[in-house]
Amino acid sequence: MKRIGILGGMSYESTIKYYDLILQKYFEKYNDYNYPEVVIFSLNFQKIIDYELGNEKEKYIGYLMSGIKSLENAGVSFIVMSANSPHAVYEDLEKLSNVPILSIVKVTIQKAKSKNMKTLLLLGIKFTMQSIFYQIHSKKLGIEVITPSEEEQDEIDKIIFDELVIGFYKQESKKRLLQIINKYDVDGVILGCTELSLILNQNDTKIRLLDTVELHVEATLNHYLSIQ
């Protein structure tokens, strides 16, 4: 029995996108209905936000692990967290989990490496932009990850929490995000919040966008198909 576990709810918009894309990509590949079995455990988004902003690492890990344990009990073969920010404690979760957790960070930086990118701009919620988990992994592969100014981080964070996580997409917000992106001399941009791909796509800019949802889902399906 092979089964994908999605740790979601961070936010529900991106969780839906993960589920939809996994099955969509499977059908595109095989043109049949033998879809992967998928189990979703949706966490309380407000708790996640409170633990992140309150810097309550132990409670943060404990709450994420409660969802991971529920997925393990449901018989999943491996887990993907449908958000970037919980990867701030990825190594802690990996040690505590009894099944593999597929990292969105490793998948994204590996893609940048394969495209010979040297400098990347990281966009996301403020917690992600002010953490260093992307920088730690990218440095190992000789890639520099930079972040927008403090003022720009506040703007991006507001767009995500006030609009994207509840399904609002404003044209002026998209325009502002593109202004920020085009201001920086980089090889690519990490859409380091799984909601950003709901408002930005590659047709919007000449700068290469690393869509973390798309990359993570592709890796998820490939890993599922590799399990014997």
User: What average pLDDT does range 24-31 have in this prediction?
Assistant: 97
CA 118 centroid distance within chain? 21
Q: What is the DSSP letter of 35?
A: P
Give the separation between CA 151 and CA 134, rounded to whole angstroms.
20
C-alpha separations of 118 from 80, 146, 177, 221 in Å: 27, 11, 22, 27
Sheet holding 144-146, edge to edge: 144-146, 119-123, 188-191, 208-211
- Taking alpha carbons only, the member of 118, 68, 70, 115 closest to residue 90 is 68
- Taking alpha carbons only, the member of 20, 72, 66 closest to residue 43 is 66
Give residue limits of the domains in the chain: 3-103+215-226, 105-211
Q: Where are the alpha helices (DSSP H) in 74-170?
A: 90-96, 104-114, 126-129, 133-140, 150-162
CB 3 within 8 A of CB 38: yes
Q: Between 24 and 1, where is the model more confident?
A: 24
User: What average pLDDT does range 160-172 have in this prediction?
Assistant: 93
User: What average pLDDT does range 100-118 have in this prediction?
Assistant: 97
Q: Which two tokens stand for residue 57?
A: 């690492």
Q: Does CATH number 3.40.50.1860 belong to domain 105-211?
A: yes
Asked whether the whole model's pTM tops 0.85, one would answer yes
Percent of the chain with pLDDT over 70: 100
> Helix, strand, or coil here: 179?
helix
H/E stretch holding 220: helix 212-226
Q: Is the pLDDT of residue 228 over 90?
A: no
**Which CATH code is given to the segment(s) 3-103+215-226?**
3.40.50.1860
Asked if the domains at 3-103+215-226 and 105-211 fall in one CATH topology, the answer is yes
Torsion of Cα atoms, 16 then 18 then 19 then 23, to 10°: 140
User: What average pLDDT does range 111-131 have in this prediction?
Assistant: 97
The residue behind tokens 């400098």 is: 119
Q: Is the pLDDT of residue 5 over 90?
A: yes
Q: Is the pLDDT of residue 1 over 90?
A: no
